[in-house]
A and B are shown apart, each in its own frame.
Chain A
Amino acid sequence: MIGIVDYGMGNLHSVSKAMERIGLPYVISEDLEVLKTTDGLLLPGVGAFPDAMDILNTTGKAEFLRQWVADGKPLMGICLGMQLLFEESEEHRQTKGLGLLPGKVVKFQGQSADGTPYKVPHMGWNQLHFHQQHPLLNDVEQGYVYFVHSYVVQTEDTQILLATSDYHQDVPAVVGRGSVVGTQFHPEKSSVVGMDLLANFGQLVEKGVKLHD
Chain B
Amino acid sequence: MLTKRIIPCLDVKEGRVVKGIQFVGLRDAGDPIELAAFYDGQGADELVFLDISASHEGHETMIEVVEEVAGKLAIPFTVGGGIRTLEDMKRVLRAGADKVSLNTAAVLRPELIKEGADFFGAQCMVVAIDAKYDEELGSWRVYTHGGRKATEWEVADWAKHAVSLGAGEILLTSMDQDGAKTGFDVPLLKKVGDAVSVPVIASGGAGNQEHFLEAFNEAGADAALAASIFHYKETSVAEVKSYLKGEGLSIR
Can you list, as one digit per residue, whether each of A96-131 has a CB less than 8 Å from chain B (1) or not (0)?
Answer: 000000000000001000000101111111110000
Among A17, A47, A126, A149, the residue within 8 A (CB) of B1 is: A126
Contact-residue size bin, chain A (C-beta under 8 Å from the other chain): 35 or more
Tell me if A207 counts as interface (CB < 8 A to partner B).
Answer: no
Among A20, A117, A125, A195, the residue within 8 A (CB) of B252 is: A125
Given contacts A13-B70, A13-B95, A21-B74, A125 and B45 within 8 Å (CB-CB):
yes
The smallest C-beta distance from A109 to any residue of chain B, in angstroms, reads 12
Tell me if A144 counts as interface (CB < 8 A to partner B).
Answer: yes
Tell me if A166 counts as interface (CB < 8 A to partner B).
Answer: yes
Among A14, A17, A125, the residue within 8 A (CB) of B98 is: A14
Count of inter-chain pairs, beta carbons less than 8 A: 102
Can you list, as one digit per residue, whether each of B90-132 has a CB less than 8 Å from chain A (1) or not (0)?
Answer: 0001111010000000000000000000111111100000000
Q: Are B121 and A123 closer than 8 Å at their CB atoms?
A: no
Q: Tell me, in angstroms, the Cα distance from A119 to B201 when the chains sit together.
A: 13
Q: Are B122 and A146 closer than 8 Å at their CB atoms?
A: no
Q: Which residues of A contact B98 (CB under 8 A)?
A: 11, 14, 148, 186, 189
Q: Which residues of B contact A123 (CB under 8 A)?
A: 2, 123, 168-169, 199, 222
Q: Are B74 and A11 closer than 8 Å at their CB atoms?
A: no
Q: Tell me, in angstroms, the Cα distance from A51 to B121 when the chains sit together.
A: 11
Q: Tell me, in angstroms, the Cα distance from A191 to B169 when the chains sit together.
A: 22
Among A20, A21, A51, A124, the residue within 8 A (CB) of B222 is: A124
Q: Is the interface of A mostly helix, strand, loop or mixed?
A: mixed
Q: Pick from B2, B93, B222 the residue with the most CB of A within 10 Å.
A: B2
Q: Which residues of A contact B199 (CB under 8 A)?
A: 119, 121, 123-124
Q: Are A13 and B197 closer than 8 Å at their CB atoms?
A: no
Among B40, B75, B96, the residue within 8 A (CB) of A146 is: B75
Given contacts A13-B95, A188-B74, A122 and B2 within 8 Å (CB-CB):
yes
Can you list, as one digit per residue, whether each of B1-36 has a CB less than 8 Å from chain A (1) or not (0)?
Answer: 111010000000000000000000000000000000
The smallest C-beta distance from A148 to any residue of chain B, in angstroms, reads 4
Tell me if A55 counts as interface (CB < 8 A to partner B).
Answer: no
The smallest C-beta distance from A61 to any residue of chain B, in angstroms, reads 19
Tell me if B198 counts as interface (CB < 8 A to partner A).
Answer: yes
Tell me if A208 counts as interface (CB < 8 A to partner B).
Answer: no
Q: Are A186 and B94 closer than 8 Å at their CB atoms?
A: no
A182-201 CB contacts (< 8 Å) to partner B? 186, 188-192, 194-195
Q: Which residues of A contact B122 (CB under 8 A)?
A: 121, 150
Q: Which residues of B contact A188 (CB under 8 A)?
A: 74
Tell me if B215 counts as interface (CB < 8 A to partner A).
Answer: no
Q: Are A13 and B123 closer than 8 Å at their CB atoms?
A: no
List 28 A-B residue pairs with CB atoms under 8 Å apart, sorted by A's residue number: A11-B96, A11-B98, A12-B94, A13-B96, A14-B70, A17-B70, A18-B74, A48-B119, A119-B197, A119-B198, A120-B197, A122-B2, A123-B2, A123-B123, A123-B199, A124-B199, A125-B2, A125-B3, A125-B252, A126-B1, A150-B122, A166-B1, A167-B2, A189-B98, A191-B40, A191-B74, A194-B74, A195-B74
Given contacts A125-B252, A126-B1, A148-B123, 13 further A-B contacts (CB under 8 A): A10-B93, A11-B96, A13-B70, A121-B198, A124-B45, A124-B222, A148-B124, A149-B123, A150-B168, A166-B1, A167-B2, A190-B74, A191-B75
Considering the complex of A and B, which 10 residue pairs feature the smallest CB-CB distances, nearest first? A13-B96, A17-B71, A148-B123, A144-B252, A125-B252, A125-B3, A189-B76, A121-B123, A191-B74, A14-B96
